[in-house]
Amino acid sequence: MFSGIIADIGSINQAADRNGGLRLVIATKALDLSDVQIGDSIAVNGICLTVIEHTAGTFTVEVSRETLNCTVGLDAQGAPVNLEKALCLADRLGGHLVSGHVDGVGEVIEFADLGESWKLVVRAPQALAKFIAIKGSITINGVSLTINQVSGAEELLAGHPNEFSVNLIPHTLEMTNLKNLRAGSRVNLEVDLIARYVERMMQAQI
């Protein structure tokens, strides 16, 4: 379990094919790996991965083909990636509860400088639209963010709106790889954990 508060921007040093999946060696500068054990989880761009080796400044993970098929950003050697270690029970929950299980891949529609902040507009897969609500939480590439707007009334009448916007303050841009986004960029999305369970409970009552 994670909070969506990024601890460091790492980089993919090596990406080697392994039985259809990938074996990644990820370098980090600010993420303290001294307490990381083999088998621990680290979120990489919002994707929960298991550490199989590590040094003082790198850790190694293996990514299955299934994970690669439903996420983006893990197959580009040299790419910057957002990193967060799994929560301890005594940690502050500065963001929201994040599982590290990506629900879908979204597309950046707009990334605009508003002066004091940046507006990021993302189109989510239609299947995720019902989980997206104003003032709700969403994770983009592992970053916990609050939804400011969703698509308007016309889109709602036609079905569930699937475009939403968030505001990014300069600190968030500085501490994450979201500053590299452009219109057309693809991002990993994880919807609010509670919303998924609410939907499941409602299905069970039908």
Q: Are 178 and 141 in contact (CB under 8 A)?
A: yes
| CATH number attached to the domain at 104-205 | 2.40.30.20
What architecture (CATH level 2) is domain 8-85? Beta Barrel (2.40)
Which residues of the chain does CATH 2.40.30.20 include? 8-85, 104-205
Task: Kindly state the DSSP code that residue 130 receives in the 8-state scheme.
Answer: G
Q: Indicate the range of 44-53, 91-100, 176-185 predicted with least confidence.
A: 91-100
Q: Which two tokens stand for residue 45?
A: 């761009």
Determine the pLDDT at residue 161: 61
Proportion of the chain above pLDDT 90, given as a percent: 78
pLDDT at 106 over 50: yes
In tens, the pLDDT along 137-150 reads: 999 999 999 999 99
> Whole-number mean pLDDT of the chain?
92
In tens, the pLDDT along 175-187 reads: 999 999 999 999 9
Residue 111 makes CB contacts below 8 A (sequence gap 6+) with 118, 119, 120, 121, 181, 182, 183, 185
pLDDT at 156 over 60: no
Q: How far is residue 197's CA from residue 18's CA, in Å, rounded to a whole number?
A: 34
- Residue of 107, 108, 82 whose CA lies nearest to 28: 82
pLDDT at 157 over 50: no
pTM, rounded to two decimals:
0.91
Return phi, psi of residue 83, to 5°: -125, 140
Determine the pLDDT at residue 105: 97
Q: Which residues of 35-52 are buried (b: 16+ CB within 10 A; e: fewer)?
A: ebeeeebbbbbbbbbebe
Q: Which two tokens stand for residue 68?
A: 């690669």
